[in-house]
Amino acid sequence: MEVKEKVEEIYADEVGWMRMRWRTITIAVGVLVCFVSGTVEQSLARQTKAEQHVTSAKKGEKKVTKKISAVPSKKQTASTTQKSKVSKKNEKAPQEVKQEARAKKPEVRSARRPAKAKPEKRVVSRSQRRASARLTRRARRAPSRVVRLSEPVITKDYESMILADADNGRVLLAEEIDKQWPAASLTKMMVGLLALEDIDRERFSLRTPVVMSERATSARGRTIGLREGEEFPLGELLQAMLVTSANDASVAVAERIRGSVEACVAAMNRRAQQLGMSQTEFQTVNGMPLSDGSAGDFSSARDLVTLARALLRHDLVLEWTSHDKVPFRDGSQMLPNTNRLVGKVDGVNGLKTGFTSRARFNLVATAQRGSLSLIAVVLGGRSSRVRFQSAEQFLEWGFTNYHDQVVSSREKDTHGHGGQPVRAALRPSALP
């Protein structure tokens, strides 16, 4: 009995659950039917309204057509014909109106400005058009500046330049050679000249010990990491100063050869006057800007050729600056050469580079091929690449052109002068 009762309860529950499902389904279906019927009624109402509008529009068109198609009476036709005749009499032909307008316009123009005659159309043949096109093409191809084929084109990528013979100082190419320009690290060339001249006088030697001071170790810019109290031979510091442009080494050398930086600067200016460097003035020993950011050292392309020629009298200069790297600290450190032409351009064997934000990129380069030695100076280059490319271009031009002149003069002058070649014909514009 209990089992039957449980079965009946379960059956009753399932039946009730099924009834609930069917009720919900019927309610949902009824809602959907109502929604669909409402939308259908709305669409039907819209269609009926549209049909009513169309029918009303057709009726209006029929009424208009009936009114237009109505035949006028005889009186109306007579009146309309009379009116049309009068209007035709009063109206003028369009040609007459145009003629009257043309006749009136010149009178108005004469009061303001005389009428301009229309230019006649010019008939140009096909051959004439082709000839004019050729002329325009030639004008575009023509150079803005005529330069001799034997001379390189001088651009304005730098402030000044000079190419000179290192032996006699003859100027081969020049642009703004007396213009004052910040020397930057080219200032170290004068420090090197004073030190080498002192070594020649045996005041010092290449092995003279130099102790690093606080001022030397606190130098700004390009340095080689000298520490206070360290000791190096004078020759090693000179090599680092000229090859890799070490500012701390320059201060140490200046203090050793003259006792202080200020005394060395005074000696540098005196030596520049003795050499005739009229556009040169020094205030530092390494070319760094002053405390206010302004440039302290100035020179010119002509003066730097004079300084380079004085330095080249000392064989150690080319012995040092002709290497792409030099040893330092007993060979434990290799210092790179800032002159990228060394080892890359045939014959280049020195000398010095310089850079500051005010001076931009400076270069003094020396080269020798055979018995001919040249000096190229580029000041204020727009980039490091510009200064090196310009110097290479000028040196190549000098070796290809000036060398031919020297050979020809030697061939002419070898007879009657004891068999020795003479360059007297090339001396008129020699530098001091």
Q: The tokens of 64 are what?
A: 């208009």
> Per-residue DSSP letters for 14-57?
HHHHHHHHHHHHHHHHHHHHHHHHHHHHHHHHHHHHHHHHHHHH
Query: What count of other Cβ atoms lies within 10 Å of the Cβ of residue 302?
Result: 25
Q: The tokens of 94 are what?
A: 């369009």
Q: Which of 160, 188, 250, 390 is catalytic?
A: 188
188 is catalytic: yes
185 is catalytic: yes
Q: Residue 303 phi/psi, 5° resolution?
A: -65, -35
Beta strands in 323-359 (DSSP E): 325-328, 333-336, 348-356
Pairing relationship of beta strands 325-328 and 209-211 according to DSSP bridges: unpaired
Contact 391, 376 (CB under 8 A): yes
CA nearest neighbour of 307 among 295, 316, 299: 299
Q: The tokens of 372 are what?
A: 């001919």
Q: Give Cα 32 to chain centroid, integer Å.
A: 75
Helix and strand element counts for the chain (H, E): 13, 11
**Which DSSP helix (H) or strand (E) runs through 182?**
strand 181-182
373 is catalytic: no
Contact 250, 215 (CB under 8 A): no
- The whole-angstrom separation of Cα 430 and Cα 35 is 111
Q: Which of 245, 250, 300, 390 is catalytic?
A: 245
Pairing relationship of beta strands 160-165 and 372-381 according to DSSP bridges: antiparallel
Q: Which of 185, 250, 300, 373 is catalytic?
A: 185
- The whole-angstrom separation of Cα 282 and Cα 285 is 8
* DSSP one-letter code for 419: T
User: Where in the sequence numbering do the catalytic residues fall?
Assistant: 185, 188, 245
